[in-house]
C-alpha cells in the first residue's frame, strides 16, 4: 500500500471441524503509525478508533451466530492511510501495518507493507545559486537569452530506495548551459535532445536511505538553463521547465514509488528577488 491510500479489508473465517459453532465474537486489532484512526469504518462492527479495534458479535453477523461445519463467513472494514506521519525509532525503515484477528481462541496476524513516500521539490532562481551567477534581462525580453538556475531537492520518508531518478522536459526555447552543481553529479545528469527530457540518476543509482532530506540532508542538484523568449510569449510568463517526476525502487516493498513537483515559469515564486519580473517584454 502507499501513503494516502484507502484500504478495504475482508476477513474470512471457516469452520474446518465437524461440530458447529454459535454465538462467536471476532476482534481485529490494528497497529501502525500510518493508520488514520478516525477513518476506520465498518458497517457491521463496533469501531473503537482510539484503540484501533473493531469488534463483531453474533447479533450483527449471521456467520458468527451459527457456523456449521465447512461453512464460511466474512466481515469487512475500511481504513485510510495518512499522507505523512512521524516515525518512531522502530519504524524508521521497513514500515508495515499489522492486523491481528481473534475468533474463538484462534489468532492470526496479517501485515501490509507500506511503500516509501518520495517528494521532489523543484525551484527556479535568477539570483546566484550554488556559486553560479545568472545573466540576461529581468524581466526577460523577446529574442534575448536570460539564464536561470533550476534546483531539485528530494525527500525519502519511510524505506530505503535505490535507482532514484528525477525527470523533466525542457520547452523548445530553453537549453542547458552545462553548468551543474555539485560537479560530481554531472556524469549522472543527462539530456535527450529528441524528447528534450532531462534525467538525474541520483548518486548513480546508489541506495537512498529512509529519512533522507528529513532526518538528514536533502540530496539536491542545481543546473543552469537559458531561455530565449519567443514573440508569442510577449506579455505573459514563459515556461522554464515542465513537471518534475521522481521514481525509485522501494527496497522493502519491491515496488516502484514516485512523486511529482509542479512546473516552473518566469514568475519564479521561490525567488522573491526575481519574482516581480516574470512577464516577457
| Whole-number pLDDT of residue 87 | 67
| Whole-number pLDDT of residue 104 | 86
pLDDT under 50: residue ranges of the chain = 90
Supply the mean pLDDT for the chain: 91
DSSP assignments along the chain, one per residue: --TT-EEEEEEEEE--SSS-EES-EEEEEEE-TTEEEEEEE-SSSEEEGGGTEEEEETTT-HHHHEE-TT-EEEEEEEEEE-S--PPPGGGSSS-EEEEEEEETTEEEEEEEE----EEEEEEEESS-BTTB---S-SS--TT--EEEEEEEEEEE-SS-EEEEEEEEE--TTEEEEEEEESGGGGGGEEEETTTTEEEEEGGGG--B-TTBTTTBPPPEEEEEEEE---GGGTTS--EEE--EEEEEEETTT-SEEEEEE--EETT-TT-TTTGGG-S--
* Tens-place pLDDT, residues 82-100: 998 766 554 567 889 999 9
| Whole-number pLDDT of residue 276 | 60
| Whole-number pLDDT of residue 272 | 76
* Tens-place pLDDT, residues 131-190: 788 999 989 999 999 999 999 999 998 899 999 999 999 999 999 999 998 888 888 899
| Whole-number pLDDT of residue 90 | 45
Amino acid at each position: 500500500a502507499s501513503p494516502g491510500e484507502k484500504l478495504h479489508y475482508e476477513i474470512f473465517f471457516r469452520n474446518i471441524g465437524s461440530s458447529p459453532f454459535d454465538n462467536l465474537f471476532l476482534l481485529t486489532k490494528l497497529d501502525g503509525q500510518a493508520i488514520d484512526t478516525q477513518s476506520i469504518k465498518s458497517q457491521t462492527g463496533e469501531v473503537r478508533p482510539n484503540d484501533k479495534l473493531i469488534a463483531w458479535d453474533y447479533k450483527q453477523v449471521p456467520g458468527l451466530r451459527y457456523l456449521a461445519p465447512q461453512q464460511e463467513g466474512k466481515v469487512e472494514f475500511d481504513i485510510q492511510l495518512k499522507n505523512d506521519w512521524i516515525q518512531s525509532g522502530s519504524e524508521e525503515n521497513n514500515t508495515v501495518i499489522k492486523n491481528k484477528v481473534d475468533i474463538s481462541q484462534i489468532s492470526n496476524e496479517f501485515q501490509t507493507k507500506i511503500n516509501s513516500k518520495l517528494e521532489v521539490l523543484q525551484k527556479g532562481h535568477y539570483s546566484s545559486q550554488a556559486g553560479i551567477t545568472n545573466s540576461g534581462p529581468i524581466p526577460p525580453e523577446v529574442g534575448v537569452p536570460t539564464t536561470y538556475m533550476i534546483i531539485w531537492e528530494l525527500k525519502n520518508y519511510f524505506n530505503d530506495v535505490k535507482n532514484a531518478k528525477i525527470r523533466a522536459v525542457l520547452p523548445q526555447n530553453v537549453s542547458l548551459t552545462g553548468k551543474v552543481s555539485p560537479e560530481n553529479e554531472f556524469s549522472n545528469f543527462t539530456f535527450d535532445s529528441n524528447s528534450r527530457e532531462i534525467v538525474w540518476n541520483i548518486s548513480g543509482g546508489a541506495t537512498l536511505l529512509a529519512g533522507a532530506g528529513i532526518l538528514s540532508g536533502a540530496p539536491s542538484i542545481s543546473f543552469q538553463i537559458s531561455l530565449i523568449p519567443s514573440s508569442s510569449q510577449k506579455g505573459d510568463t514563459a515556461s522554464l521547465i515542465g513537471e518534475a517526476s521522481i521514481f525509485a525502487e522501494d527496497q522493502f516493498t519491491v515496488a516502484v514509488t514516485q512523486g511529482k513537483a509542479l512546473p516552473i515559469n518566469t514568475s519564479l515564486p521561490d525567488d522573491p528577488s526575481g519574482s516581480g519580473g516574470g512577464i516577457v517584454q
